[in-house]
Chains A and B, each alone.
Chain A
Amino acid sequence: MTFAFEIPLLVLLILTAASAMLVKDLVSSVFILGSYSFFLALVWAWLGAVDVAFVEAVVGAGLATVLFLLTLFGTNPKDTRLRRPPTPWAAIVGLPLLGLLLMYGANGLPEFGDPASPASTHVSPVYLANSLKDTLTPNVVTSVLMDYRSFDTLIETAVIFTAGVACALLLRRDQG
């Protein structure tokens, strides 16, 4: 049941990614990247990672499109036409081989949702057993993000704040 819908989604992903690289001007490329993010978010939602899907939709489809367009605001129109060098033969031969290698390696991965996979048996049971006692937070994800990994989250927030300040400074126009 899961499999029947994954294939059309992945085909759409590949089609959007390829056409984002192949179109001739940057504005169309930005639009197609927006739809690529929508499909990626649908893939996350289909796999049950709803929070990741939401972040992908917010950052990929919403924020990135707006930021790219703001960048194109400040660009000369003649610079948004693309002149591509021809694709080297090494890429045409090598990348499909790399894809085959990855598909061969994917055979060794555990099944989707397998309770006996290493990811589900290694540390997750410890968190599930102790998080309420350690942190008094009923939501396990929140307790992992905000308590066990609070320094990680704090510094991530600092990185995002710095990036936001840098974007605001770069995109500020017509003042001073």
Chain B
Amino acid sequence: MTSFFLFVLLMLAALILVYLYRVAQGPTVFDRVLGLNGISTKSILMLIVIGVVYDRVDMFVDIATGYALLNLAGALAIAKYLEQRGAV
């Protein structure tokens, strides 16, 4: 069972690579923001899977919730920045 979850983790890491290409290469800022949001979502999933691997899901779910809230705050700050500066 652990090797299955390890496989899931590796697949999520491979997915993140795709997002990372968009963040680093993205022609517009909006591509980068969307890529960053995707990376954050995958990181939250990875955290929960790591919790499953370590058999401490309860604690890792709390941390994943914290991540998600922070992600929201960061996305709001970015949106505010783009609103003030106009579409870059």
Q: Which residues of A contact B (CB under 8 A)?
A: 1, 4-5, 8-9, 12, 15-16, 19, 22-23, 27-28, 31-32, 34-35, 38-39, 41-42, 45-46, 48, 50, 53-54, 57-58, 61-62, 65-66, 69-70, 72-73, 77
If the complex has contacts A45-B47, A50-B59, are A35 and B39 also in contact, measured as CB distance less than 8 A? yes
Main secondary structure of the interface of B (DSSP, over half): helix
B67 / chain A contacts, CB cutoff of 8 Å: 38, 41, 57, 61
- The A interface is mostly helix, strand or loop, or mixed, namely helix
Per-residue A-contact encoding for B29-43, CB less than 8 Å = 1, 0 else: 100110010011001
Interface size class of B (residues with CB under 8 A): 35 or more
Candidates B10, B17, B39; contact of A4 at CB < 8 Å: B10
Contact A45–B6 (Cβ < 8 Å): no
Contact partner, B63, options A35, A39, A45, Cβ 8 Å: A45
A50 to B20, CA, bound (A): 25
